Chain A
Amino acid sequence: MPSGHGEQVRSTVGLVARLLLAGVFAVAGIAKLRDLDVAELSVKSYRLLPDGVAGVVGIVLPLVEVVLAVLLLVGFGTRIAAAIVALLLVAFIIGIASLWWRGLSVGCGCFGSSLLAADSPPSYALEIVRDTGLLVAAGWLVVRPRSLWSLDSRLNQPTRTMRGT
């Protein structure tokens, strides 16, 4: 049964993508929530949004990251959650690229950071590569949200049986 096998492989890839994104977003969100001053300053330091708006985004962002991490972890609403994750990642990539482009050396603050200056300059290229990798994982889930051990498949099981008969 080659098709059944492929299906299983793809569902496993979906699971890995979910767990990867959930892990990264949970770590990033929680790290930022641990120091809200830094979370606010971090978004302001991009100098892309007015200070007032940036401060609000700085607090909203980690909360949304944690919520998305939980949704992906349990596999609920995988497609829509992954789509929001993908949008965020695109925004992050644009933001980091704009720092690079403008020659600002301010660390992306992706995983929270310290109020104090970092020892080494930020590595924008690496950050963009990392976010692009995550974007691929999110894209996979948007296109093919079915994955192993997801709440989605559990919840839809009764519907499916009804439809199947």
Chain B
Amino acid sequence: MSNGQKRRGKNPVAQARASSGSNRMTYLIVAGVVAVAVVVGVLIAVNRGSGSSADDAAATPSSTVTMPANTVSDTAIVLGQDTAKAKVELYVDLQCPACKAYEGRVASTLEQDVVAGKVQVLVHPVAILDDASSTKYSSRAGAAVFCAADEGKYWPYAKLLYEKQPAEGSDGLADSTLVELGTQVGLTSKAFATCVTTQAKASVIAESTTAATKGGLSGTPTIKVNGTKLEKGTLEELKAAIAAV
């Protein structure tokens, strides 16, 4: 009532200053609250950083089943039986950080479901991120996983390459490193080493990429369950899609 009159009667500048939250105490409180948010964020990030690699290390042995050896079809690397009702298709690029993150989320579930005969996994490696390294790591790694697939070891080798994934914008891993990593998952044959170093599968990864792009691939990872594209990228979504088949 009289308050309103007072307000109107006042000098507008002083009034604005008084009610605009521009006094020092307010600034300090706001700065403090924002600083707390920053500190909490850094703590979470640091915890996740150290925790997640430990989780990865722990997750691999804790999944009690091992993915069976793959076969190779014309268009894909195949894991699991043809009789499995759910066909999970993965379009992945070894250079793609989101592919690595997705693999970390779903790998043990896929392993269990494949072993249980519920799921057949069809992997389509593609190379669409050659510009993210100075050495076309995307294509070279894609070719290397096809070399591993020839010996039935796509899954453990790809897992290891995700684990050692070079940062985007880096030089990528050298061919010699790709060979060396193979030995860690039992790819010790001369044939594998030659396959990697001579880029014997360069045309295969190129064809796989062209086929996927023609098929409307917009990016990686793209995941389809019996032809239906997933959207959320959560483990729950994948489980539900498999269960719904």
Which residues does A use to contact B, with CB under 8 Å?
Answer: 1, 3-4, 7, 35-38, 40-41, 44-45, 47, 51-52, 55-56, 58-64, 66-68, 71, 75-81, 84, 105, 114-121, 144-146, 150-153, 155-157, 159-161, 163-164
B49 an interface residue at 8 Å Cβ cutoff? yes
Q: Which of B98-119 contact A (CB under 8 A)?
A: 98, 101-102, 105
Knowing A38-B233, A152-B26, say if A115 contacts B105 (CB, 8 Å). yes
Count class of interface residues, chain B:
35 or more
Closest residue to B19 on the A side, CB-wise?
A153
Contact B19 A156 (CB under 8 A): yes
Contact A144 B16 (CB under 8 A): yes
Given A105-B219, A152-B21, output 8 extra A-B contacts at Cβ < 8 Å.
Answer: A7-B12, A44-B97, A79-B21, A80-B30, A115-B102, A116-B98, A116-B222, A144-B20
Please name all residues of chain B whose beta carbon is closer than 8 Å to the beta carbon of A59 when the two chains form the complex.
Answer: 41-42, 44-45, 48
Knowing A38-B233, A116-B231, say if A71 contacts B30 (CB, 8 Å). yes
Contact A116 B233 (CB under 8 A): yes
Measured between alpha carbons, how far is A157 from B6 in the docked complex, in Å? Answer: 11
Closest residue to B39 on the A side, CB-wise?
A60
Classify the interface of chain B: helix, strand, loop or mixed: helix
Measured between alpha carbons, how far is A85 from B136 in the docked complex, in Å? Answer: 39
Measured between alpha carbons, how far is A135 from B115 in the docked complex, in Å? Answer: 54
Measured between alpha carbons, how far is A64 from B73 in the docked complex, in Å? Answer: 49
Contact A163 B18 (CB under 8 A): yes
Contact A67 B15 (CB under 8 A): no
Contact B98 A115 (CB under 8 A): yes
Please name all residues of chain A whose beta carbon is closer than 8 Å to the beta carbon of B101 when the two chains form the complex.
Answer: 37-38, 41, 115
A sample of 9 cross-chain residue pairs with beta-carbon separation below 8 angstroms, ordered by A number, consists of A40-B48, A63-B38, A79-B20, A80-B22, A115-B102, A117-B219, A156-B19, A159-B18, A163-B14
Distance of B23 from chain A, by nearest CB (Å)? 8
Closest residue to A62 on the B side, CB-wise?
B41
Residue of A47, A63, A81, A155 near B30 (CB, 8 A) is A81
Please name all residues of chain B whose beta carbon is closer than 8 Å to the beta carbon of A76 when the two chains form the complex.
Answer: 21, 26, 29-30
Closest residue to A36 on the B side, CB-wise?
B48
Contact A161 B6 (CB under 8 A): yes
Q: Which of B12, B21, B42, B222 gathers most chain A CB within 10 Å?
A: B21
Please name all residues of chain B whose beta carbon is closer than 8 Å to the beta carbon of A45 when the two chains form the complex.
Answer: 97, 168
> Which 8 residue pairs are nearest across A and B when measured between Cβ atoms?
A117-B219, A60-B41, A115-B233, A152-B21, A77-B30, A145-B20, A153-B19, A114-B233
